[in-house]
Amino acid sequence: MLLLAGLLRRARPPRRPSVRRLSGLLDRYGFVPPASLTPHSASDDGGAKKRRPKKPPYRPPSSLDRGGRPAARSDLPFDFRFSYTESSPGEKPIGLREPKVRDAQAEDPAPAAKRELEEARRRERERVLGEPLTPAERAFLVSKCQKSRTKKQINLGRDGLTHNMLNDIHNHWKNDEAVRVKCLGVPTVDMQNVCHQLEDKTGGLIIHRHGGQLILYRGRHYNPKKRPVIPLMLWKPAEPVYPRLIKTTIEGLTVEETKEMRKKGLYVPVLTKLAKNGYYASLVPMVRDAFLTDELVRIDSKGLPKSDYRKIGVKLRDLVPCIIVSFDKEQIIVWRGKDYNGTIQDNTQKTSVSVLEEESAGAESENGRDGLTHNMLNDIHNHWKNDEAVRVKCLGVPTVDMQNVCHQLEDKTGGLIIHRHGGQLILYRGRHYNPKKRPVIPLMLWKPAEPVYPRLIKTTIEGLTVEETKEMRKKGLYVPVLTKLAKNGYYASLVPMVRDAFLTDELVRIDSKGLPKSDYRKIGVKLRDLVPCIIVSFDKEQIIVWRGKDYNGTIQDNTQKTSVSVLEEESAGAESENGDQEQASSDWASDECSQLSSSDEMPDDKSAISEADSD
């Protein structure tokens, strides 16, 4: 057996060198793997390793790179801008962050050709709008776009009316005749510009406005298939470089005076506090009114983005106008300038407002619905006996015309208004005021009977027939409410609101439920004189006014109405001074005396018809 095993061992084939020893069976059975199954070693490739190609470096998007596509063209008759409300072609930058591209075929038209283009554009807009909407059609569209009826809405935020928003508006107009636009943030400081740009760039018509909510109508002959081509902006272009907003020195002041003014501005009483993404349409009138008494105005903008309150400062600079002092500590501080010619002179440099406010904290005089009464003059002099200044709080009907209240207070008391915040006034007595030489003011022990004035609501409105007057009074009760008046509230913003509403609506309705009858009738008289407008009706405790047939669409701004101050009257001459004193001593009645009587009631239909027939 041992011999046989040795012979078999000798008969085996010789071993072949294997490329890789995977198992002991390979030597026993003599299997040689093919070259295709043999794994490649690093020595066979000569040490060469394949590397992934490097990624190209990141390239930020640019408005110049079209990716090989042809340049987009549109028939829109105006130059494209990212925002049409927050940028102006008149502002020249000092540098660009990316090259400016201009179409080689585009050329500036001659003035005559430009006028022809504008005229053709105006005619096309009138053709698309068609005939004016009837009151019933307007009311139907406005009610259809209310929040309770639809959720479709376009939000206009801090960037204003952007270029891509034009495409959104036309997309809404594809299915609906009108679209609701809600405006909030920085653009609402100048709502007139927002309304103008919306109508100009879209070709539509604003048929209703309530605060920051607009209803934009497309027109009777609008065809969605023929809408203009609006190439979209896929990213926000880089903003150009503009000059410094806050310079080292304010024009007309030295470096030391500028530093002193910036420090002083941080301690001025706050005019108002701005909410983030709020509605700021009343900010410009508030600053103008504050400049009547204060040299510096501070607006608290804590919580707002830095770009927002800086843009608000620029808008105030252009609209008020004023000079920007500082944005330190998130405060907008503006100065009215040296050449300001307000009617109420400013003596804040001589008298500290904060000290007078502390001294007069416990001394306050109420100015209610009767306005500045004769007995109130005695109360003011009694306060001046112990304090240099007195705080006057104004509420109710007189606040519709705050300028008249300020003028009468200075005229009848001889004092000076050194601060005003809303309906709160600080009345200063003067440096050389002597309580022992105060004027003798006999008190009125009862309110005199009011005289009888002409009828406030007549049978027919001037220029209309009896039937047209009745139809307008019925129609006025279904007009959307502009605002609701609170009892004994502050109504200084009522006149600007009515003027703005007359830009889009023929009739305006103000809800005065809960107010005494004499109050809302007096408010109607003040609106008639200040707006001006025509009183239609007071039915169902609603103040309904009409703008009239000859309304020309211009908003009259009476916030800067000039009236002769007391000091100017005294310096005019001895004759005018004596005349003013005689008038002041003989003026026993209130400056807010009612011009209404109990006989100002609406006549019934029979009497109206009989009077019309007799005419």
pLDDT tens sequence across 142-170: 999 998 888 999 999 988 998 889 999 99
DSSP state, residue 299: E
Q: At what angle do helices 283-290 and 306-319 cross, to 10 degrees?
A: 60
Mean pLDDT (the chain) is 77
Q: Report the alpha-carbon distance of residue 506 to residue 500 in Å, rounded.
A: 11
Residue 123 is part of which domain span?
Answer: 112-226
Cβ-based neighbour number of residue 581 at 10 Å: 12
Q: Is residue 328 part of a domain?
A: yes
Q: Is residue 361 part of a domain?
A: no
Q: Which of 300, 318, 335 is the last residue of a domain?
A: 335
| Same domain flag for 216 and 125 | yes
DSSP state, residue 593: -
Lowest mean pLDDT among 17-31, 184-198, 347-361, 387-401: 347-361
pLDDT tens sequence across 330-343: 999 999 888 876 54
Strand order in the sheet with 542-546: 481-484, 507-511, 542-546, 534-537
| Same domain flag for 213 and 293 | no
Residues 369 and 398: beta-carbon distance below 8 Å: yes
Q: What is the CATH number of the domain that holds 310?
A: 3.30.110.60
| Same domain flag for 135 and 221 | yes
| Same domain flag for 117 and 214 | yes
Three-state secondary-structure class, residue 522:
helix
Q: At what angle do helices 574-586 and 402-413 cross, to 10 degrees?
A: 100
More confident residue, 507 or 455: 507
**198 has pLDDT over 90:** yes
| Same domain flag for 197 and 297 | no
**How large is the average pLDDT for residues 485-509?**
88
Diameter of the chain by CA atoms? Answer: 160
For 302, counting Cβ atoms within 10 Å of its Cβ (0-12 exposed, 13-18 middle, 19+ buried), the class is exposed
> Can you give the pLDDT at residue 38?
60
| Same domain flag for 126 and 218 | yes
Q: Is residue 45 part of a domain?
A: no
Q: Report the alpha-carbon distance of residue 352 to residue 569 in Å, rounded.
A: 26
Q: Report the alpha-carbon distance of residue 533 to residue 502 in Å, rounded.
A: 10
Q: Report the alpha-carbon distance of residue 142 to residue 87 in Å, rounded.
A: 30
pLDDT tens sequence across 389-431: 999 999 888 999 988 889 888 988 899 999 888 888 899 999 8
Q: Report the alpha-carbon distance of residue 511 to residue 523 in Å, rounded.
A: 12
> Can you give the pLDDT at residue 598?
36
Q: Which of 226, 242, 276 is the last residue of a domain?
A: 226
Q: Is residue 183 part of a domain?
A: yes
Give the CA count within 13 Å in the CB-facing half-sphere of 270.
9
Q: Is residue 312 part of a domain?
A: yes
Residues 596 and 456: beta-carbon distance below 8 Å: yes
Residue with tokens 């409105």: 461
Q: Which of 335, 358, 389 is the last residue of a domain?
A: 335
Amino acid at site 281: A
| Same domain flag for 182 and 270 | no
| Same domain flag for 148 and 220 | yes
What b/e readout covers 348-369, taking b as 16+ CB neighbours within 10 angstroms?
A: beebebeebbebbeebebebeb
| Same domain flag for 194 and 292 | no
Look at the chain and count its residues: 615
First to last CA, the chain: 156
Number of domain units in the chain: 2
Lowest mean pLDDT among 54-63, 76-85, 353-362, 422-431: 353-362
Relative to beta strand 331-335, strand 323-326 is antiparallel
Residues 402 and 423: beta-carbon distance below 8 Å: yes
pLDDT tens sequence across 203-247: 999 999 988 999 999 999 999 998 888 888 877 777 778 888 888
Q: Is residue 171 part of a domain?
A: yes
Q: Is residue 590 part of a domain?
A: no
Q: Report the alpha-carbon distance of residue 172 to residue 167 in Å, rounded.
A: 9
With cut-offs at 50, 70 and 90, classify the pLDDT of residue 368.
low
Q: Is residue 262 part of a domain?
A: yes
DSSP 141-201: HHHHTSTTT----EEE-TT-SBHHHHHHHHHHHTT-SEEEEEE-BGGGGGHHHHHHHHHHH
| Same domain flag for 214 and 274 | no
> Can you give the pLDDT at residue 153?
93
> Can you give the pLDDT at residue 416?
92
| Same domain flag for 117 and 203 | yes
| Same domain flag for 263 and 222 | no
Q: Report the alpha-carbon distance of residue 199 to residue 196 in Å, rounded.
A: 5
Q: Report the alpha-carbon distance of residue 321 to residue 340 in Å, rounded.
A: 10
